[in-house]
Amino acid sequence: MGNEYMNVSGGHKSSKTFKQQSNLITDIKALVKSGVLIANALPVFAGFWLALHFTDASFGEFWGSFLLTMAGSTLVMAGALILNNWYDSDIDTVMDRTKHRPTVTGSFSLKTVLRIGIGATIAGFILLLFTTWETVFYTWIGWFTYVVLYTMWSKRRYTLNTVIGSISGAVTPLIGWSAVDSAIHIVPLTLFLLLFIWQIPHTFAIAIRKHDEYKAAGVKMLPVVHGMDVTKRQMTIYVATLLPLPFLLPALGVPFMVIVTILNAAWLVLSIRGLFTDEHRKWAYWNFLYSVNYLTIVFMLSILVTLPIFD
């Protein structure tokens, strides 16, 4: 009987420990917004990879820079996302999609979150100091735009917060490329422009789906201030401006240009359909899904077409 009791007790303790560890991992993923972090790391990698390709450099020459760039930029981006959670903890309590973040539930104190955010940012920049000044500069632009200009200044005041915040995500291919060579090049600059434009309809789709939550939280998103019809028209215009961009990238080959053009045209059709429907949230949901897959395909494709087997 005693042995049976001990085994059951030990099992309960083991189960409790596992649950605590699982909750901790979940909280950390929410704190750094793991999905957003991964989505931003992909263009950094693509930028680095493409720079190697277009400068005829070997990975062996730059493996150290690669590790420093990926680790440093990821830490800085994580720091920015953590600081966003810290600053927005008050409005996150109002929104259903954010009320389970550890800054709301109390799993981490706000003081601890602030320290982690600052620490991750500093650690990331220290690593990046061993790359190039241009890499540090683009990373700083991304961090400053997201934390100061977007999170602390414009998000609660102006509908232009979406446009301002888009700069931070758009610099990611420049960060990766500049670790190898100057990013003043048509390929990374076009990818910057593509990412900048992409983020606006992507974010508007989220804002339409979460309209009531943003309204309750007092966040000045475009559909909250100017309504659904204005937002859908602007989304369509931004998606349309993506159409010429593949033709600025003939260096990536005809298959890349054709596939991305088809993706752009399909997104435009989906956006135009939204102008003629009252099912705003359903339409925005499909736009959101399309935009996420669009980004993944474009950057994975940019890597794929430059693999040696396609030379």
Per-residue pLDDT tens for 218-234? 899 999 999 999 999 99
- Give the per-residue pLDDT at 28: 84
**Average pLDDT over all residues of the chain:** 90
Task: Summarize pLDDT for 46-85 with one digit per residue, the tens.
Answer: 999 999 999 999 999 999 999 999 999 999 999 999 999 9
CA distances 181 to 62, 126, 137, 168, 275, Å, are 11, 20, 14, 21, 43
Q: What is the mean pLDDT of residues 202-207?
A: 95
**Domain boundaries along the sequence of the chain:** 34-310
Query: pTM for this structure?
Result: 0.90
| Statement: residue 5 has pLDDT above 50 | no
12 or 254, which is more confident?
Answer: 254
- Give the per-residue pLDDT at 197: 97
CATH 1.10.600 fits 34-310, yes or no: yes
Of the ranges 37-51, 95-109, 203-217, which one carries the lowest mean pLDDT score?
Answer: 95-109
- Give the per-residue pLDDT at 309: 62
263 or 13, which is more confident?
Answer: 263
Task: Summarize pLDDT for 81-123 with one digit per residue, the tens.
Answer: 999 999 988 888 888 777 778 888 888 889 999 999 999 999 9
- Give the per-residue pLDDT at 263: 98
Q: What is the mean pLDDT of residues 133-154?
A: 96
